[in-house]
């Protein structure tokens, strides 16, 4: 079996690293294809180093550009490599342009796609990431889904439960493994070592790069307004290149950089960043991955967004959406600083993203699919059976799997009272209302 992994940005490198490792450890043939969307050493090479994964076999160097140009160049480059390499499955991760390009190319070439971190939805179609993840899901063969809630999103869009696999999020694997290594090593980045982070109090780690925030002068101004007033915090801000550019263009960079309690540093490596966040009192961010890491590392998070595709972090109690509203940011940040009970409740929020065995579960499933011949994508050779969608209330002890065998059907949605559940094989359906597809 040959597995190809497509990645192109910082979070994709971090979240695919545990899977790349797992594939290597099992001796499976693999190729790594970098789109080159992130190309600065601080946004790419340093992560291959910190996460100890092999350098990419291919880099198609798309660089920065408009969405159309970036996606088009990626599709062209990815197609050339895949025609040459002929992998059995291609893995894409998350919601960047690489995911869109990779999934579309594979679907047309009839190569199986495994979407890692499938099913997330912000329900905000103005986000390029929402389009990317929805399009990728339409083109995928295997869905590696972090949580039950994300799996339910896919069911609600009409996907069959058959290939929806709840595997947790590989960010937990990466966090657990690398935090230990980071603690032993200590800070390497000079700008952080000088700040003596380990002995610093009230650290607020800030990251922001989301287009809807940093490309909007009013929103950035509001956020900076809050930062100015948070003088009792030490704000450490590893700045994304996009954000540095826009702050400079808006004439806001120097004003922020001159504040004594704000330390702007360049983007830092994964080990340094894990040390920084785990020493923080509070994380203020619009990053997707950081919302997950915060709840994994037991650090309260305030998210600079009006919606999130990680709602589990909010319902679990570890994350609060504050938008770009200065007063809401200030009110919540101050509460975390001054109200111990409130801060502890946020820290102790249960982690919805699994136990750190997501990479293992993912590669187990790929091996099983390969053995069962499910990665061969062929045009149908049999007349396809039709089905009728039905609804029924169940009043006996019967699992999803047994119900399906008895009825020659596939369970679709399950309602336990007013709560939707994912129809896992061993779920007892007694007392639940279900919809199912009955084969004719
Ligand atoms: C991309 C992803 C976003 C993800 C983020 C992770 C898409 C649509 N966006 O956003 O989902 O959350 O990566 O960080 O795929 N730049 C550099 N050096 C680099 C890379 C970028 O200077 O190595 C600058 C360029 O000016 C570029 C800008 O950053 O125009 C934005 O980069 P781009 O890759 O288009 O999007 P991100 O904001 O990084
Ligand atoms: N990160 C890092 N160094 C930094 C900032 C972030 O290592 O200076 C890591 C962080 O731990 C997380 C990932 O980058 O795992 C998040 O990437 P980003 O915010 O760029 O993308 P998103 O997750 O929003 O797509």
Distance 208 CA to ligand 2 centre (A): 9
Task: Verify that 190 and 158 share a domain, yes or no.
Answer: no
Determine the pLDDT at residue 382. Answer: 86
Contact status, residue 98 vs residue 8, Cβ threshold 8 Å: yes
**211 vs 128: CA distance, rounded Å:** 9
Task: Verify that 160 and 219 share a domain, yes or no.
Answer: no
**119 vs 361: CA distance, rounded Å:** 17
CATH of the domain at 108: 3.40.50.2000
Task: Verify that 139 and 71 share a domain, yes or no.
Answer: yes
In a domain, 379, yes or no: no
CA-proximal residue: ligand 1, atom 30 (nearest) = 64
Task: Verify that 17 and 162 share a domain, yes or no.
Answer: yes
E strand segments, 124-256: 142-145, 164-166, 203-207, 234-238
Q: Is the CB of 18 under 6 A from ligand 2?
A: no
Task: Count up the domains in the chain and report the number.
Answer: 3
Contact status, residue 144 vs residue 116, Cβ threshold 8 Å: yes
CA-proximal residue: ligand 1, atom 17 (nearest) = 241
Determine the pLDDT at residue 97. Answer: 98
Task: Verify that 267 and 329 share a domain, yes or no.
Answer: yes
pLDDT tens track for 250-308: 999 999 999 999 999 999 999 999 999 999 999 999 999 999 999 999 999 999 999 99
Distance 174 CA to ligand 2 centre (A): 12
CA-proximal residue: ligand 2, atom 13 (nearest) = 11
Task: Verify that 253 and 294 share a domain, yes or no.
Answer: yes
Distance 37 CA to ligand 1 centre (A): 7
Task: Verify that 165 and 213 share a domain, yes or no.
Answer: no
Task: Verify that 257 and 141 share a domain, yes or no.
Answer: no
Q: Is the CB of 287 under 6 A from ligand 2?
A: yes
- Domain with 226, as residue range(s), is 186-347
In a domain, 381, yes or no: no
Which residues, given as ranges, of the chain have pLDDT below 50? none
Q: Which residue from 6, 37, 238 has its CB within 8 A of the most atoms of ligand 1, so it is best to mutate?
A: 37
pLDDT tens track for 161-218: 999 999 999 999 999 999 999 999 999 988 888 888 888 999 999 999 999 999 999 9
Q: How many CB atoms lie within 10 A of CB 198?
A: 12
Task: Verify that 39 and 73 share a domain, yes or no.
Answer: yes
Annotated catalytic, 115?
no
- 49-53 contact pairs (CB < 8 A, 24+): 49/269, 50/178, 50/269, 50/270, 50/271, 51/13, 51/14, 51/17, 51/174, 51/178, 51/270, 52/17, 52/21, 53/13, 53/17, 53/20, 53/21
Task: Verify that 8 and 140 share a domain, yes or no.
Answer: yes
Residue-by-residue DSSP string for 253-264 = HHHHHT-TTEEE
**347 vs 301: CA distance, rounded Å:** 9
pTM: 0.97
Task: Verify that 123 and 239 share a domain, yes or no.
Answer: no
In a domain, 377, yes or no: no
């Amino acid at each position: 079996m040959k597995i190809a992994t497509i990645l192109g940005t910082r979070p994709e490198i971090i979240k695919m690293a545990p899977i790349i490792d797992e594939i290597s450890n099992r001796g499976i043939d693999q190729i790594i294809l970098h789109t080159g969307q992130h190309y600065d050493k601080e946004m790419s090479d340093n992560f291959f180093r910190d996460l100890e994964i092999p350098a990419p076999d291919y880099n198609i160097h798309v660089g920065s550009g408009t969405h159309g140009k970036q996606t088009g160049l990626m599709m062209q480059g990815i197609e050339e490599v895949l025609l040459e390499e002929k992998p059995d499955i291609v893995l894409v991760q998350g919601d960047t342009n690489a995911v869109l390009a990779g999934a579309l190319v594979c679907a047309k070439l009839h190569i199986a796609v495994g979407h890692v971190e499938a099913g997330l939805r912000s329900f905000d179609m103005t986000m390029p990431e929402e389009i990317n993840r929805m399009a990728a899901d339409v083109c995928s063969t295997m869905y590696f889904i972090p949580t039950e809630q994300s799996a339910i999103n896919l069911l609600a869009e009409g996907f069959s439960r058959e290939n929806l696999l709840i595997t947790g999020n590989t960010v937990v694997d990466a966090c657990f493994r690398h935090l230990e290594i980071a603690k032993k090593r200590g800070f390497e980045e000079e700008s952080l070592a000088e700040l003596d982070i380990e002995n610093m109090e009230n650290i607020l780690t800030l990251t922001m790069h989301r287009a809807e925030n940093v490309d909007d002068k009013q929103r950035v101004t509001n956020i900076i307004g809050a930062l100015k007033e948070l003088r009792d915090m030490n704000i450490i801000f590893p700045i994304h290149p996009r954000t540095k550019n826009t702050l400079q263009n808006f004439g806001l960079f120097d004003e922020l950089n001159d504040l004594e309690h704000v330390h702007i540093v360049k983007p830092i490596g994964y080990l340094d960043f894990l040390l920084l966040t785990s020493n923080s009192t509070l994380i203020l961010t619009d990053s997707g991955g950081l919302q997950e890491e915060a709840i994994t590392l037991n650090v309260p998070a305030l998210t600079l967004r009006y919606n999130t595709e990680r709602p589990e972090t909010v319902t679990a109690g570890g994350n609060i959406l504050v938008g770009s509203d200065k007063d809401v940011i200030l009110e919540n940040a101050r509460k975390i600083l001054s109200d111990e009970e409130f801060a502890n409740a946020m820290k102790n929020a249960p982690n919805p993203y699994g136990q750190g065995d997501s990479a293992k579960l993912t590669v187990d499933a790929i091996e099983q699919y390969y053995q069962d011949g499910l990665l061969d994508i062929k045009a149908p050779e049999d007349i396809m059976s039709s089905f009728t969608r039905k609804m029924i209330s169940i009043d006996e002890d019967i699992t999803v799997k047994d119900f399906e065998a008895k009825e020659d059907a596939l369970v679709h949605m399950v309602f336990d009272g007013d709560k939707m559940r994912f129809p896992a094989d061993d779920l007892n359906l007694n007392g639940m209302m279900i919809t199912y597809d009955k084969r004719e």
